Copies of this chain bind each other. A is one copy, B any other.
Amino acid sequence: MGRWEPDARDRLVRAALDLFDEQGYENTAVAQIAERAGLTKSTYFRHFRDKREVLFGGQDELVELLVAGIAGTPESAGPLAAVEGALVAIAVTFTEERRANGPRRLAVIAANDELRERDAMKMAGFSSVMQEALRRRGVPELDAAVAVELGVVALRVAYGRWLEAGGDFAEVARRALDEVRIVAAALEGAE
């Protein structure tokens, strides 16, 4: 078990989702997840900080990609184009494996208050990281907040469509953000 396990992470996620299905999230211990995956508990903790992280892992990588996507957009581009760069940058993480696990993962989270809070916090974290990246490009605070929250709406829409129909996530995200932008531009205020 001490040897390198190239697909340890995926195996742990699959084992965890199987066990959460069979006996519930609350009734499953990290040791059981590791055992089901044919790995040790210490391998588990090399990949995930605690039990719930098996559902939220890869967050640091996503944050890095979002920030790099914004930084990689030409300085002349507006904040929404930079947000599009961020969404396109994370497309590499939207693998078939992730898509296959998606619906079960969402079902486990939806059924547990603590996990739903963790999920809300994760999205809030992405949002604040992207806003900071835009502020560093000189985008005014309110513009950054608006562009990022529209990006988050597009991300949610794109994720749902991609889970359902698959395809290239970058393309799905681009289309969703474009629809969001058109809707936002057409909104009327009160008289």
Residues of A within 8 A of B (CB): 77-81, 84-85, 116-118, 120-121, 123-124, 142-143, 145-147, 149-150, 152-153, 156-157, 174, 177-181, 183-185, 187-191
Q: List the number of copies, as a whole number.
A: 2
Q: A183 contacts which of B142, B180, B181, B183 (Cβ < 8 Å)? A: B142
**Among the listed B79, B174, B188, which residue makes an inter-chain contact with A187, where contact means beta carbons less than 8 Å apart?**
B79
Query: Residues of B contacting A191 with CB < 8 Å?
Result: 81
Decide: B185 and A147 in contact? CB cutoff 8 A: no
B178 near A189 (CB under 8 angstroms)?
Answer: yes
With CB as the reference atom, state the residue of chain B lying closest to A184. B184
Tell which of B78, B152, B179, B183 touches A188, judged by Cβ atoms closer than 8 Å: B78
